[in-house]
Amino acid sequence: MRTFPGHRLMAATFACLATIVACPTPAQADQHRDQQWYLKSLRVAEAHRITEGKGVTVAVIDSGVWAEHPDLAGAVLPGFNVLGKGDGRDDLEGHGTGIAGVIAARGRSGDRGVLGVAPAAVILPVSPAGSPLVVTKAIDWSVEHGAKVINMSFLTGNTDGLAAAIKRAADADVVLVAGSGNDDEVGSDSEYPAAYPEVIAVGAANRAGKIASFSHPGPQLDLVAPGVDVTVASSDPAKEYQRVQGTSVSSAIVSGAAALIRAKNPELSAAQVAEVLESTAIDKGAAGRDDTYGHGELDLMSALSAAASVTRRPDASAGTVPNSGSDGGESGLPVVVVVGVGVLVLAGAVVALVVGVRRGRGR
């Protein structure tokens, strides 16, 4: 395997490493949809009968996105280059284009071209993926410009500034997803942004649902998703597609899943979306959560089904009824109102527990 061309950014004090590795065999144009094997294993066609992600903006912080790719036509918004070099809609490295396609590619007529997990979502390209300072600015800009999901298929270092940006995004109700990293790229000081507690850290699984040999394990891992031998869009007009593997692909698939949940259930908080994805994952490895598979392998249809039954915490001011007063020490609230308030309190407690489980998970 070789590192995905051009997506290894080096500076004097940090290394932002790609979490995707290219396979040497190029994909043929007439084979690309069939080579998206995970579309079948995740039952994506069935999911699309429920929602295709319309109305959800997914920020892709990466090398940029080649907006002219035929399979991404109409899917890429004007974005932002932190270094002031355009609007993010070009990609000299190819990494970001592949990731954007996994999330929201629309394909072509006759089931041609690659298809995203959330093909009706739109991509907000933000580039580059680099130092913690650059990533901090990219996250803040993404939040300010309406991202409901932020995909981060890269590794960088940990700083107080980046940690604060991650928290600001989470507080703004944005779902944050990152690849856990490929083992040959990950050092103890470069497990971020996946290692932040607010981020869904995603490892890679193969066609058999087994952990990929390169997928970086650890206490930060939340779940795994397909990430081996996948055909993605290329920013090279001469070939248009390439076969790749890495946790970059896996995190993009989970970002697409999050977009579907947010489109179908816009009332759910980002923390609830994360909890649904994790709690419905197919348990693999040791029983319960473990450092190899996290909570397990993504189960897209189970997540969509479970999301439909989750209720967001009701507004505290909703349904307030003034106390009319009474004698004999009886409550001035009618019995039906008392029962209704009890139901609301119980529902609120359940939601608080769900969010609490998410926020309190170990790292």
Q: Catalytic site residues?
A: 62, 95, 248
Other residues' Cβ atoms within 10 Å of the Cβ of residue 152: 32
**189-192 long-range CB contacts below 8 Å, 24 or more apart?**
189/157, 189/158, 190/14, 190/15, 190/17, 190/155, 190/156, 190/157, 191/155, 191/158, 191/216, 191/218, 191/220, 192/132, 192/155, 192/156, 192/157, 192/158, 192/162
* β-bridge partners, 122: 57
**Location of structure tokens 């954007």:** 100
Q: Residue 158 is which amino acid?
A: N
Look-up of token digits 């409901």: 148
Question: Is the peptide bond prior to 193 cis by the omega test (within 30 degrees of 0)?
Answer: yes
Residue type for position 209: G
The CA-atom distances, in angstroms, between 204 and each of 14, 124, 158, 162 are 24, 24, 22, 25
> String of b and e for 53-69 (b: at least 16 CB within 10 Å)?
beebbbbbbbbbbbbeb
Distance CA 76, CA 66 (A): 9
